[in-house]
Structures are given as C-alpha cells and as structure tokens.
Chains A and B, each alone.
Chain A
C-alpha cells in the first residue's frame, strides 16, 4: 500500500490517477499510523512552499516524515519541503536533502521563462529510480523555484541555470518534475519507485 500524504495543498487527483493507470494500490491520508505502516509514502504538493510547510506542521507531520524508514518520494513542492530551506516565503524545511531551493531568474534574451513550464531533459541519471529511463529523457515540469545541485542529486536539468531535478538520500527520493504527468517515462519512474 502506498500512502499519499494529504496535507491540503491542492489537488491529489492526478497522482491518484497515475497510480490507478499503473495498477498500484494507494490511499490518501494524513493519519500518522497509516503513513508509518505503508510500504511506500508519497509526498505530493502544489502551491507555495512556506504555506505548504505550515500545513505539514499543523498536522504534526514533520517529524513523522523525517523518521520514516520505507521509501518516500516527494514530488515538486513535496521534494522542495524535504530540502533545507526555500527562498519561497523564506522558510526552513524538513532538512532531509542537504540543499537549498532558489528562484529561477527570467532571461528573455536567452528564452529563459519563469515559471519553468513544459518538457525538459533529465541528465546524469544515477539511481534505481531511473531504471530503464534513457539519459536525456523528457519529463514535465511546472515550477518557479528549484533545488541547487548537490551530491545527493540523482538527475540534473537546466533552465537558465543547472538544478537538481531529482534527489535521493537513503530511503528518501524526490523529483522536481511531475512523473504523474510525464507520459510513459513518468509512469516508468513511478513503477520503479514502487519496486524499490
């Protein structure tokens, strides 16, 4: 069973639909006992980082997440919350991945737009999360902030500057892109996560 953490940050529908398509069993919950006993945990997230962080705190989920020992996957804001700090709302986050989250700078001359929206490549892939995924595969991004490159980066992408498009440390994983919206590549990444 995969527990999708519900902390009231927007729509979880697309994550659920993607898990339906690949035939995975899941539940949407904020129940600590259910989260702790799940085989896998997904931390999704849309919206703004500091308010998302407040919602995790309100539900008393910060330490619960940090202490999980099964594979955990943060998606988009979910992954950003697992970093040290985010510039968005200047907020301290869970501190699982030792890197900070910074805003992109738009650069019209070089075609760099903010938000970074659309399909971009993931490179320097190094994790079982990317089993059977080609180097340079395209995935779907929608975000204005991104984690800095660090040793825990398991994929790199570029939008004006290079950033960590996926991170891993121990049992914790995160993707800045949306595997649930990234076509067949995204579905393969979700399957890989389930098989970890």
Chain B
C-alpha cells in the first residue's frame, strides 16, 4: 500500500524561508534550497514551497528559486502562492515544479482548476483550502485566512475534485499555528466524501497530533512547518515514531 506522506512546508519570502504563527508574525528560519535538501535527506516524502512575496520582484526571485530547487532536490515538490492564471502555472512547470497549489484564485475563478488540470494533468494540481468554522459549519476563507467567503467547505472540495484537482491540501484556520492538533473528525469526514488524496495542514504541535490525523483523521499526508523548522523533531525521528504507532511510512 502507498505510504502516508510527511511534507515539510516552507514559506518563502525573497528566497528565504519564514514561518508565521497564525500567519501574522514572521520569523526567518533559513535558506530555502538548503533547508529543503536537509529535509529530503532526513526522509521527507515531498516538500511544499509557498511564495509569500507580495511584489513582482519577489515573484521573479521565487521562479529562479524553483529552478534551483528542481535541480538540487530528488523528491517531488509543490509550489504555491500567487498563482492566479494558467500562465503562472506554466511558468512554474517550465522551471521544474512537480505540482502547483492554488487557493484564492481558484475560489475567485473555479474554472482555473479545469484549465490547469486539462492542460497539465490532475497530478499537477493541488487545491489548497483554508477553512474556518462558524457555528459548527466550515466555510472557505481566502487571502491567507483574512477574507471569509460564503462557500461551504464540503461543497467546494467536491467541486474541486470534479473540476480535476489531484489532491486537497486543507488547513483549518482555527487550528493553524496554534500547535494544539488537527481537527481529526473534519478530516475523516472529508476522506469519506472524496476519492483524491487529502493533505492535512495546520496545527501540528506534537507527534501524537500527526499520528491522530493520519489514523483517526484518515489523511493521506501531513504537512507541517514549525515543528521541523525549529528543530524540535527531525523528519526522520517523526517517521520512526509514526512507524511505532503502526502507521505505514517510508523509512
């Protein structure tokens, strides 16, 4: 059977990785290519690089960075942040990205999913979704959680799957950066409703949080940043722990 994946996420600004707590405070935690290489050597199954630059210069720096990542890293990687047209996706594919993730732009223009998937294949399209709960119901937010929408989570991810998304990367904005665990019931329900893989993001504070989301939450992969960046646990140590808990991981 296919192994559960551990995916370190690197937020990149002007070629360097940063990580925000609840997306507000940013702290520089290192060189993007070197950090990615280190994670790959430690046993990361994939990497996600998110461009959080807001300027044209920042975007161009990121494109050159992606080229450098593709040349140096021997595992698959996804890039995201600021992709709003098929040309943005094509530019990143051309420099060697294996997958792109789209978020706000897909909410604004859902046919972007169809467009990219039909041209480059579903395996290339990760639909990133930031959800927030209101009265027990989850809704989609955009712009890094700053803007609420009226789209209901389950309807949106089903639509995304039908339009050709190859994976769903779900962040619960109520949990992101809090380090108090993932909403496992939400993930299990999502897994029940979708046939494409689900990547759980936002909230990992301990090994047992990750164990829970991969077992009870039935997620196919867990994405995390802080616990790796600050060296609390290495990817390798985490995977050994997961294996002890009976989770099928690549070691």
Contacts and interface: CB of A to CB of B under 8 A. Distances in A.
27 contacts: A10-B121, A11-B93, A13-B96, A14-B96, A17-B96, A18-B74, A20-B71, A21-B72, A46-B121, A46-B123, A108-B191, A108-B192, A111-B218, A113-B2, A113-B195, A113-B196, A117-B166, A117-B167, A118-B220, A119-B250, A120-B1, A120-B3, A140-B75, A141-B2, A158-B1, A159-B1, A180-B74
B120 interface: yes
B221 interface: yes
A13 B70 contact: yes
- By CB atoms of chain A within 10 A, which of B2, B71, B96, B218 has the most? B2
A142 interface: yes
A21 B75 CA distance: 12
Contact of B5 (A47, A118, A184): A118
A17 B71 contact: yes
Contact of B2 (A120, A184, A186): A120
A10 B5 CA distance: 25
Interface string A135-178: 00010111000000000000000110000000000000000000
B195 A117 contact: no
B19 to A, nearest CB: 24
Interface in A97-119: 106, 108, 111-119
Contact of B74 (A10, A116, A186): A186
A30 interface: no
Contacts of B250: 119, 138
A193 to B, nearest CB: 16
What 4 A-B pairs are tightest by C-beta distance, nearest first? A138-B250, A119-B250, A13-B96, A118-B2
B79 interface: no
A183 interface: yes
Interface of B: 1-3, 5, 40, 45, 70-72, 74-76, 93-96, 98, 120-123, 166-167, 191-192, 195-197, 218, 220-221, 250
B195 A119 contact: no
Contact of A117 (B71, B75, B197): B197
Contacts of A159: 1-2
Nearest to B40: A183
Given A17-B96, A183-B40, A117 B123 contact: yes
Majority-rule SS of A interface residues: mixed
Contacts of A11: 93-94, 96
Contacts of B72: 21
Contact of A118 (B3, B70, B96, B120): B3
Most buried by A among B72, B122, B167, B195: B195
Contacts of A140: 75-76
B71 A106 contact: no
Contacts of B196: 113, 115
A47 B45 CA distance: 23
Given A21-B71, A47-B121, A113-B196, A13 B1 contact: no
A14 B75 contact: no
A39 interface: no
A181 B3 CA distance: 15
Contacts of B71: 17, 20-21
B220 A113 contact: yes
